[in-house]
Amino acid sequence: MGELTEKNDALEAMVAALKKQIIEHKGEFAIYKVSLGNRVLAVAPMPKYFPAKGIMDDATKVINGVKRKWIKTEVDLDNHVIVQQVDTQMESPSQFIEDYISNLTTIPVDSSKPLWELRILNLKTPEAEAVAILRIHHSIGDGMSLISSLFACCRKSSDPVALPTIPMQKQTDRPRNRRGVLWLLLSVWSVLRLILNTLVDISLFMATILFMKDTKTPLKGLSGVEHNPKRIVHQTVSLDDIKLVKNAMAVTVNDVILGVMQAGLSRYLNRKYGKVDKSKSNNLPGHFRLRATVLVNIRQAIGIQAIADMMKKKSKAKWGNKLGFICFPFTIALRLDPLDYIRQAKTIADRKKLSLLALCTYLINNCVVKLFGSKVSSCLAYRIFFNTTMSISNVVGPVEEISFFGHPIAFIAPTVYGHPQALIVHFQSYINKMSIVVTVDPNVIPDPHLLCDDFSESLKLFKDAIILNNSVIANSN
């Protein structure tokens, strides 16, 4: 009896301690909510869409005699900042967070309030002490806009009152001596190539909208894939390794990323097709079409910008969705030299850079919205996404550690869902790390972690090949 009483007293003490901890956390998170509200209001000026609700539908100008529009409203942070009560002692917090986020992809954003929410899960994972999930409707802004707003809400970890340093992207140096017949001939040839490439790309783009589809592969989603729950996973690789490959091959970070994508997808699909005949090392079909829809920032000012600059009337980096589309073809094959993936990706990327397709698609979409409404525009965008296999995006992140209300950020893993595709890949840099974020339809791609491993393993093969080549050159000298 005495032993039972001791156990009961111990249990009551544990419950009391737990209640005290919950009260303390609630008070702490209440302070965070007030701070969040004050900081958002202190950032001048913030986009009008954060304190607004309701999504425009320009195709239907009047409903019941009332024009549909954004409605300015008061922001009640209790409706936007959600502290999820969870068991902090669970065995697999990473799996719980993955399942939790997957469930969120089945719940539409509530349009009766401003279209964003912040969910806090006080769960320790191998990467971080806790996880914050920021869900924002894409109508508010694109990746550049939202990362800029994140910058505005964060501070340097090294200086709690200083805003993060805006990462600067180097402009390509161009020769100043533009004289002579040779320069004139080269300029004329470049303009002709630009026009020709743009016409060819627009023709292929229109063909994709009308009839040209990617080949059915283990990565291609079926009709209605946009309504299925999504599984979102990420893996962190070294940004220094990417830069090592970039510098050794005299390419860009984007070229290396596209090479990683091409190599990783080839490894993954070879394994999938190999389930039929395991006796062969190369199980890939002879030829098939696999393209990625690449979202391109068409702003004059490249890279992340200060949010105050984005709000200016004549800003070269205007807030909003300033995106164009290009379709990037991947060649799926097994290469003896892994660096051939990067070489081929660079060749295609350089060809795409000498084209105005991204700007043309942005302007065409604006004209369609103004003339026919957003429903027609969304139908055209649907055709582009559905007829290609996947989407990819790369956003430059902070170059130094930043903190969110005093809490150092361990990683940033952005993604989107709702596209009629079974695979979406985002690359997000942060300090000396690169997050590879993979969003899949698990009915089509049941093993997203394995796909992430293929991407990271491809980067490792690139790095090993560079080191081997350098050692061979050194020995020959």
| Residues annotated catalytic, as ranges | 138
Peptide bond into 45 cis (omega under 30): yes
Residue with token string 């007293």: 9
**What residues contact residue 389 under an 8 Å CB cut-off, 6+ apart?**
214, 217, 219, 220, 290, 291, 292, 421, 423
Task: Calculate the CA 409 to chain-centre distance.
Answer: 17
237-270 exposure pattern, b = at least 16 Cβ within 10 A, e = fewer? bebebbebbbebbebebbbbbbbbbbbbbbbbbb
Distance in angstroms (rounded) separating the CA atoms of residues 39 and 49: 16
Cα distances from 12 to residues 6, 16, 86, 90, 357, in angstroms, run 10, 6, 20, 21, 67
What DSSP string runs through 288-355? ---EEEEEEE--SS-S---HHHHTSTT-SS-SS--EEEEEEEP-----SSTHHHHHHHHHHHHHHHT-
Distances (CA, A) of 221 to 218, 232, 260: 8, 16, 22
Q: Which of 383, 364, 376, 291 is nearest to 324 (CA)?
A: 364
> Is residue 139 packed enough to be buried (19+ CB in 10 Å), middle (13-18) or exposed (0-12)?
middle
- What's the CA gap between 188 and 279, in Å, rounded? 54
Rounded CA-CA distance 201/206 in Å is 9
Please state the separation of Cα 80 from the chain's center in Å. 22
Provide the 8-state DSSP code for 86. -
d(CA 436, CA 428): 7
